[in-house]
Amino acid sequence: MEKYYEVRIQAPQPLSVLSPEGELLPEQEIPEMSGETLQELMRRMVFTRVWDQRAISLNRQGRLGFYAPVSGQEASMVGTTMPLEKEDFVCPGYRDMPQLYWHGLPIANAFLYSRGHQEGGRIPEGVNVLMPQIIIGAQIVQAAGVAMGFKKRGKRNVVVAYTGDGGSSQGDFYEGLNTAGAFQLPVVFVVQNNHFAISTPRSLQTAAETIAQKAVAAGIPGVLVDGMDVMAVYKAATEAVDRARNGQGPTLIETVTYRFGPHSMSGDDPTKYRTKEEQGEWEEKDPLVRFRRFLGKKGLWNEEMENQVTEAAKSEVAEAIQKAESAGKMTVAGLIDSMFEKLTPELEEQKAMYSR
């Protein structure tokens, strides 16, 4: 009779650098970071929080379409994009607009995408991103494909792909990881575990103690990180990006984080599946509050600096929504024109019909 062995991976504690009070944890090796880098991490998180608040307001005014709030996940988003170079590539899910922005996509494009305008999918020259993937987990396979292209061409570019805890339950997730591991591709997979796939808790999606340990089956490193600690996220992401760039293969990073708002602005009510006590516990770990305390003690951040970033974010968002709202009205003929460089006879016929 064939003998079976049970393999159990002991779940580690997430990597943390800062305590919730903003103190350095003595047992952890602190990443080497300049004052300018620390300030830039904070600037990006504050900007992202303000942008998120304004986008929610614009959605409620009917000026934006689909929008997935990000507050609470800023450390995860900012910390994983900071180590990237301009030539690297980002493959996002639909909650990952901030990562696209920090990699070069204008906010106006993000707003056009939200409004369902075809120009929202037109990526500016030199911006190495895909538009957000709506099919859950499909970006993981796409990222493996982009990374395969980089490797075949002998490039040192790195791909970073994002999904949520729900995305890790999809078949595409495993296929992408397995392909990346088998071919040792230069890609970093980031699972932002905010504990809920819409209203489904993580505990009902998988029996694995962590999502990070799913990397074992693909033969790649898996790292569990405190996603509310931007320094810990930055440390893990920097090491993973360096490994990928130096030909040492892919990494799976699980950032344990929390979204303070609803899954999306399309009718989700988180009070139906989350308690006030749970919400309060996570708000005490707010990544902006934690990092603000740390920087304040080092004299690297103050109220005046934060106000400047806040006003800059409000101004940029206001300018972006005006630009999005002034975009030309879409037409069926225009949509057909954007499909191929040379239209098929069938499309030419349809275009002529809609151009009358």
CB 204 within 8 A of CB 169: no
Residues in the chain: 356
Residues annotated as catalytic are 259, 263, 273
C-alpha 309/C-alpha 134 separation (Å) is 31
What is the maximum span of the chain, computed from C-alpha positions, in angstroms?
A: 74
Q: Token pair 């180590």 is at which residue? A: 83
Collapsing DSSP states into helix, strand and coil, what is residue 316? helix
Terminal CA-CA length for the chain: 74
Q: What is the dihedral of CA 263, 80, 287, 60, to 10 degrees?
A: -30
C-alpha 131/C-alpha 44 separation (Å) is 21
C-alpha 301/C-alpha 38 separation (Å) is 9
Q: Which helix (H) or strand (E) holds 255?
A: strand 251-256
The one-letter code for the residue type at 249 is: G
C-alpha 240/C-alpha 40 separation (Å) is 20
CB 280 within 8 A of CB 82: no
Angle of helix 138-152 relative to helix 171-183, nearest 10 degrees, comes to 20
C-alpha 39/C-alpha 126 separation (Å) is 26
Residue 196 per-residue DSSP state? E
The one-letter code for the residue type at 154 is: G
Q: Let me know if 270 is exposed, middle or buried by CB neighbors in 10 A (0-12, 13-18, 19+).
A: middle
Tell me the Cα Rg of the chain: 21
CB 198 within 8 A of CB 166: yes
CA 343 to chain centre: 35
